[in-house]
Each structure stands twice: as structure tokens, then as C-alpha cells.
Structure 1
């Protein structure tokens, strides 16, 4: 045994002597030790230790496949790793920083374990009088219980040689980044508030705080520091709330036979995050409950190929949704400009495709980044921002004025799309971009499952799904551009094209007015007045710019109208900024005042508590998740959710309509949409009489379909 240990250490000694590591400052040296089923060594975050500083030294375990070691609370069986340090005089070691463990089920038991490679960092305090230029050796005696079907106690004595350096030591090139990553991912206190309450035979643990708002709470699990406060194997049921969650735990020995604790400490692990919590006895707060259990996002089990296929189909169908109708005029004008020039038409088709793809991926990337930052946002989030809505309204006004011939921008940017002159590449690209910005907030059939899958995946997989959506959305226009036979049916170029373009400007005027109305719903009347004034200045800018263009063509001076146009544009932008700042703080949409949905039928404000209360009364409940910027939603409200026939059906079926208005950001609504696998609106739910899961209605409604669903729900 002695000879084997000597030969195992000999290579490291040879390397050390060859490099002169113990003699040269600025290097850390350690040698791995094989214990049988684990390779063990000490590794450092820093390549040296500065006097008076703290250096993190980690016990690295590379565990044999199929085997595991244990967390600080091993669970139902096992034993935690223990470290006994031998340090130079004045040096002290702190507690282990334990990474979040894995759940390991062995028969009826549940253990908390580590597999593969794990680093257990420990803070080592360096005395202020440590001599710079010296070399110290840190020694740790580690004991493990390593298990597969059987458990084997193993131990190792490992050392790490560190130079003492003046100033800030460099990061260890081999292990510094991995130790830093382990420390960054380790559970930390994040200002969460936690209470527990023993209700009958169930121990309720409620946790609330900013990190949990809008977070993915599916799979949440509480790892207690003590092995006696809860029974580990039972499932931990999750109930969501607008501010956090409540876990239903099975009380353990301390609650059933021993002395109930005054505190309940441990780690709350979510998907990709973990937090230290310390709960005290108390009542469960309303913010930790009321939204039901997390549901797997619709489409979460689709798999990438099927999700991309669904996204492509959803993008195709999105072209038929009312959201896209205002943009059809831009597409039509762009097509007619070069309908009989196959080469230019194809170039425009590819430019439109590029605009759609780039904008879709940009919006998707921003959405993923914002959600990763903890904000509860969904698809269409850009139109929940009043400044963005105001800017889009004025941009659509400029597009309409351009199509009306008030001014020209390069190749008539439809000037953002008509391509009336030149190749119109830039215009076609911007047409695609604008189509996405305005149309993407709505969802079409097949999109819901695809988006539900995408928002549960890593960023690259999510972007692949959004790419499929973009390709489907752009496909009809691109195919039309590449099929000359279809375009050849159009009349030959002539004056009719200019008439058509000017006629198609009016849907763009309507879009600008609609966006201004959306802005007013988000902000109020005073900011709306400022935006209307900005619209007048924008139109004045366009007229001056067109006048300057005409004078320049005639060979006359154009400096004055150009300067006046620039000043007018600056004034319009200033009014937009003032309007955005004058907007009042957005009240939660879900607590809006009751508003009539149509003759004889009123929609009450939605809340999870209101749904539960109405179900308890035995009523049928229909929930309309909507937003003022969602054209499909407004079409459905006008065509299917009004009228005396519908009101009579609701009265006969003892049904109530609730409206969840997502025009402004609302974390509670976002969480409810996510529960049903949706990232945007519209969403229509019908809860049956007597309780139970809701039926999800199609995104395009008819009055008959709604009445049929309500009457069916009334039968229980």
C-alpha cells in the first residue's frame, strides 16, 4: 500500500521539481489523489494568496460514473462530505459553500447527492502578517461516503501549495474560472421572504420576492438543511402566486414527534436558479398562492423538429390573421411596383425575407433576454411600451404620407416598401420589419404550442423555433415573388399603379390612428394630445421635405424647407419624449374597472381569486385574455363577444365573462398565460360549472362557437 501511494505521488513530485513550483511565487501546486471511486484534489480560485485577503480553495471530486457523494443534508441515507483542515498559524477556514444537489431516488428513499464532478469551495482567510514572497501548504483531510447500490467510505489527504503575493493575485488559469462559476451558481440569499404554516397534516412553505415574479416555478423543490423537518420522498406540490409560490411538504420527525422548530432553513431550487431561504412561522401571504399549480407549457414535449414545423405553420397562418391586414397594403404596393420584372421582384422577395427574419430573431432575442432577467413579459411585449407605440404610430403616418406622394425617400421606402423606383431593396426589407413589429404580437393556430416550447428551451433552441416562425410568415410573399406566372396576371405598369399605391395608403393612416388610440389607453388623454400634436408636426415635416425635393428637381433653392423640415421633426420627437414622460404609472391591467363587452353583456375584471370565487358559486366562467394592441382580440370582441343573443346565453347558462387586459404589462396575467402554454394574446378559457380545468377556445371566435362552449360548460 505504501509503495502504491508513493508511486501515485511520484509523478506529481517530478513535475513539481521540474517546474520549481514550490520555489517560485505566482504558482499553485496540487496533486490529485485516487480514493477508489473518486479523484480528489484541492484547487484554488486564485493563483496566490494576498496578506489579509480571502482565497477560495475548493475540494474537487471527480466521481466515478454511476456513483455519488452527498450534500450537507444527505437525505434519507448517506453522509455528507467532511473536511478537516491543517493550516499555517493564523490561517483559518470557513464553512463549505455547498452547490445545489441533485435528487437521487433509491427505492422508497430520496437522497440529495452529487454526481460527475463537483467543487466544494471553502473560504480561507489569510492573516495580515503573512509574508509576501513565501510559500504555504494547505492540507485537508477529507472523508466521503460514495455510493452506488452499495456505499463505501473513502478518505483522502490532499494538499495545495500557494505562494503569498503582494497585491491582487491573478486568477488560477486551470481552475479559477470553474471555482468562480461554482460560487456564482451556489444558492444565495436574495431578499426572499418565507413563512411556514402547519395545516393539518401538511406543512405549507410560502416564499415570495422579486426573483420569483414571472419565474418558471415548475419543478421548484425545497432542500432542507435539517434531515428531520420534512419527509424527503413525497412530492412537493406547488401552488403559484403573483409574488411567489407555496410548497406543500410532508412534516417530518421534528413536527410529528419532536419539538417543532421556530425556523425552517434550506435551499429553494428552481429551473436554473437556487436561493437560500429561512422561514418563520406565520400566515401564508396572498401573493404566494391563488394561481394554481404550474402547468407544463403547451408544446413543451413537442421536441425541436415538431416545434419548428408547428412554428412554420403558425407563421403561414399568421398572414391570414387580422393583425396583418394593415400591412397588406405595403406588401401589395411592393409587388405591383415590379410585377413584370422577375429579377427585381425576386430581389425584393429576398429583401422582404431578410427583414422578417432579422426582426423576428431580434425581437425573440430581446424577449429571451428580458425574461432571463426576471421580467414577466410575453410575445408582443414591444407594444406594451407607450414610447414604442407612439413611435410606431408616427412611423406609420410617415409611411402613409409617403405612399400618398407627399414626399419620397430613396426608392420610395414605401419608402418603406413600395419600391416605386430603383430596386426597392431597402423598402422591402423595412416592409418585412414593420410587418413583424405590428403583426407578431398576435398568435395564430399552431403558434401557441411552438412558442410554449421555445420559451422553455435554451436560447439557441428557442431562436431555431422563432426562425421557423419567421420563415413561415415570409413564405407566401417570397413564393409569390419567385412565381412569375402569378405576377404576370397583373396589368402592365401604368398610371394605375400610382393610383393603387395612394389608395393603399389609407390602411396605413388607419394603423397610425389605431396605434394612437392604443397609446391613449396606456397613458391617458394628456399624453394623447401631445402625440396628436406630434403627428401634425410629423405631417408638416413630410410636406416640407416633399416641397424641398420638388424645388431641388426644379433647380430652385431647397435649403430653407429642408432646414424647416429638420426643425419640425426635432419638435415632433421632443413632443413624443414629453408625452412618454407625462404618462401616468401603469395600473395593473387585471384590476381595471368593469367595462361593457356589448349590449346587455358586461365583462368583469379578471383575477385568479375571482375565478375561484365564481367557480365556488357554481357559475360558468369565461376569461378573455386581451390587449388593445391585439387586432385579432378587438375583431373577436366586435364579432363574437357582443350582442343580445350572447348576453341571453350567458344569463341562461349562469355564466360570467371576465376580462384580463394585457395592454399594459401585468406579471399576474403573464403568469396565467404561461400556465396555459401561451406567450401572447388572445387566449379564451371557459371553466365548466362545478369546477375543473378550463376548455381553451380557438383564437378566431364566432358568436355561435362561444355560445356552444358556454352551454356545454353549464352542463358540467
Structure 2
């Protein structure tokens, strides 16, 4: 029975509201671990109006290195408090040959009971600290920070003095790759952050992070239509897409907050043979049901109970799709791209999980726009039940098998990958009559599908040839034949397992630029860098005099996590460069995939 349009819209609104409430509740619970009471009250308000905050709760200071001669000092001011502008001072304790100058924004004039007419800050501010050295910059600088503020309730705090050790070679939020991202987050404006990161999500919506989810959702919609044996309405398929997208978005948000606070990506820990194999098996079972081998149904007694419950609660089907979106986000898409890395680094440095969570949630919604478009259009684009419907089901059955193969490619040999792709091309091509003769009166559509089937058959044969000849990629199945040309050697990377080995390798190349590449077997973008960027002759020539190091973080061990954290990364791919002096070149840092042309522009910054 179809629901009236108004009721369906009401259920859609309720689903959105429930997801937002769930997101807010869970993110607030996570925030309890890293947030002070002053930070919570800044968003939620506080019932303890008479409570007096400790100085470190009223005024928080976080300093990070922007580059070797610039520091960013962030003051987080609790509501109902203010800092005196002229009481903020910074000086260098060590090394002795260094000086610091402070650039502060303009504040607000206030008639203060203690100091009279003076300039103050009521909200969070960021100061820029410029460093100058008489000789080579050190790895760490020690600063003395002094500041003073008051509560609007009439209490003035004594001057606060802190001694802080700041690593100058650590990666900061505002690297060359994510300056707009850093600026957007540091603005602290919720609506600006939401709109900006929704736009970033739109730009990422056709990236490898989202593409595998499109056939998954399409298969869910096809399966839903078949189970209902009726024309699927636009609103119903849109609601399915919305439930799936919200599951993906909530997972990205909560997992991202946890990653920002802990320094570990949950999705990285799930890139194990058991997890990937389990998800691949699930898609194989779903695909077999699409081919009509069996119906995925519960036992009759349990199904009757479920139907009784579902009759009282209209969203039962959507909960299942919501859960599928959760698992897809965790296992199918362990992508680390510049906007995501910027948000995670912001959360890790400021512990502002509310603003960071909003950025993650809106980024995920932007990435989910293609999924919502599928749902909005599927009601009219999908054919009615009949022969076409059976063909559509079988097509998405093949697509789900493709997703299963894609999931396990990181854990199986290249030859097996090629053979699986070959089977996925050749067997459907035979069913599409690639080897059968067409009747003389065959329709144009029959001839078209015959041509498609022949192309699939030939591609499958190429995959088999590649598996036998030692090809490394399904995208270049005949590369192993070489066809008389000289073999293309891979870049001569030296593997480093931990920070100690990295430091030793850098010291062993005192007069050379050093490149450190973070790689993992389960990282699709890492393999794209290897196959398309690092294999480019121009890139090889540019890197001829560069020491090449590689950290394999496939196992996500403690040493791997420590190396990623050392450079402000949350997962591969990532490339870090070091000058001949051994200091990191922060402006050349790479996060995510770059093609050969983009990577050459990055190398130009190194003046090779």
C-alpha cells in the first residue's frame, strides 16, 4: 500500500531528524572524553551559572608550527570570559639565538573595572608568531607564554604563565595542500563550515571514495523493487537512498571524530583479510540472489514476527539500508583525502569535536549527492516488472560480484585478480550470446548487445593473457608482454619500518632531498600512484637525485601509527619531503592521489 505524499515526507523528515539527534548525542559523548566543562557549555549552555572555572578551563592555549619560522597560537576562550589584548606576551626561552614577534588581531574596547578602557577578546582568537634565528633553526623551540583575563562575573584571574615545547618540524593544519580547509575551520563559523565542506564533498562525490557505493545502493533499490513486485516510486527510492547516505554520513562523522581524538582511523583497522573477505562474501550472496538462485528470506515464523513489528513502525526497511550504509562506509571506502585529513588534524589539535563533526557530516552529505540522485530518479528510470526487470537484476548481480572482487584485491595476488576479472567478463559475455550467431533479421538492439558481448569477451581474454604473462594491473593487462620494449622499472624505494630507521636514512643522505611515501596494500590510491604517477618517465627523471623512502603501513601496527602521527597523517596515501638539512618541507606535502602532471608541479617546489 502506497503512503500519501504528506506522510512519506513526514517519515523522510523524521529520518533526517533522528539521524541528526543520533549524531549529536554520540558526538557529545565522545566529546566528554576530550572536552572540558567550559567547552561543553559553550555549545550547550550551563545550568551552573555560579560556577567559577579554573584558569586552564577559562583560557586554553594551543600552539602549532605552521612552518620553520611561523607558529599559530590559538586561544580558546570560555563563554562569559575575556582576555586582555595587551597582556598577551610570548618570549623564547630556548634556543638563546632565537627571537619571536607576535601579531594579534584587533579586539573590542571595554570599560574594565581593573584597567579602565582597554582592548579585550571575548571569543576565540589566533595569533601569528614570527620566529627569527641567528643560525640553523632547531628541531624544537621552547616558548614562555603569558596572558591574563577575567570573568564577566567580576572575577579577574592572576596572570597565567606557561612554558611550552613546540616541534618546529611537525606538520601543521595549514600546509600548502589544505590552506583553504584550515582557514575555513579556523573561522569557527558553523554555517560557513557546513556550506564549505558540503562543497568539498560535492567535488569528492565522483572519487574512488564514493564510486563503489553507487552499485551497492543501485542493487539495494533493484532488490527492494523485486521484493515488492511493483513499480517503485521516486519518493520511496529516494528514502532508501537517504537512509543509506545518512548511515554513511553518520559513520564517517563518528569514526572521524574518534580518529581525530585517538590518531587512528577505524577503517584502517578493518582492512584485514577477515573483514574484507566477509564483506566480499556478503556481496557474492547478494549477487546470487539477484541471479535467482534463492530468495534472501527469514524463516516464516521469524518473518511473521518481523512483519508484525514493521506494521507498527514504518521505517523497518530503512533501518536495514541505514545499517548497510554504515558498513559500506567502514569497509568499502578507507579513503584519506586532503579535506578529510584537514578536518581530522583540526580535531586532533583543538579537540573541537562539534565544529569538526559538523564539517565531517556535511562533507559526507556532499559526497552522498550522487546516491541521492540515484534514489530521486530511480522511480522513473527503472523499468516495470517483466523481462527488462530480470535483465536489470542480473546486471546488478554482476556489478555486486565486481564489488566483491574489488574488495579483496588488496589481499590476493595480481594473477588471481586478473583471472577473477576475466571470469566476470567472459561468463556474462557468453550469456549475452557473444559466441552465438545472430539471425539475419536480428534487431538493432540485438546487434548492439552482441557487439558489447564481443568486447567483453576480448577484454576477458586480455585479462587471462595478463594473468599468465605477469601483468600487475587489470588496467594494463598486456603490460607483461612488453611487446619488444624495454621493461619499465619501478622506483627504487628503500623501506623504513619506524621513526628510528627513518631518521637514520635521512642522516645517511645529508646532501640530498629525501622523499617518504606512505603506502598500504589495501590503499587503492597508493597503487594508482605506483602505476600511473611513479611510472611516468618525467617523474622518474625528476626524482633521479632524490633519496626515495617508503613506509608500508598495511598492518596498521603501532610503529605504523606512530609514523603517520609524526607527520600529521591519518592514513595513506601521503608523501613527505625533507630538505638536504633534514628538515621537513611542509609546502610540498602531498595528501591523496596526484597524477603525473600534478605531482611534477609539486616537485617544482623543491627546486630539483
TM-score by length of 1: 0.43
Q: Which has the larger radius of gyration?
A: 1
Name the structure with the higher helix share: 2
TM-score by length of 2: 0.49
